[in-house]
Amino acid sequence: MNKIGYIRVSTERQETARQQEIMCDYQVDRIFSEKLSGANADRPQLRAMLDYVRDGDTLYVESISRLGRSTKDLLNIIDTLNEKGVTLVSHKENIDTDTPTGKFMLTVFAALSQLEREQIKQWQREGIEIAKAQGKYTGRKPIPTDWTRFGQLYGEWRAKNITGRYFMRRMVLMLNAF
């Protein structure tokens, strides 16, 4: 019976220190950690953790939102853990799936987590629409490119007259000129 920790932050710039400290408090035996969005259920360390856990293990997470952002994904992960006989403990929500109440609360919090994500996306879309209406947002600016020069460089590279490295350096210089 192992204590397993799973840590996830959404971007490379975010820190995992707070979650690592929680895992130390639980005295986990092994930690799986990654810096990828929870919107994507196909994450390497999540898959590795799900392959690793065994009957009788306990999985510790800082929050259920670390496992997944959609109710469907989260419930699929929970089903996998249940099938393997693994207990889930969520620090933030104080959930322990060893109890019937913990299992019920997990489902409720999974739905709330998905609602939160969808609201954030909606607010973002609404904010962009307001900014567009006010002329403050015109979208992402296109990257200017000298297509003629690009075509020439590309042709030279295809003819093996220049190296790929030289081609890339020239492209970077060309883009920086704009």
Q: What are 118's two structure tokens? A: 């969808």
> In the chain, what are the helix, strand and coil shares in percent, each to the nearest 5?
55, 15, 35
Rounded CA gap, 53 and 50, in Å? 6
Rounded CA gap, 175 and 35, in Å? 30
Clarify whether 10 is annotated catalytic: yes
Of residues 10, 33, 63, 70, which has the active-site annotation? 10
Report the Cα 3 to chain-centroid distance in Å: 23
**Helix, coil or strand: residue 158:** helix
User: Residues with catalytic annotation?
Assistant: 10
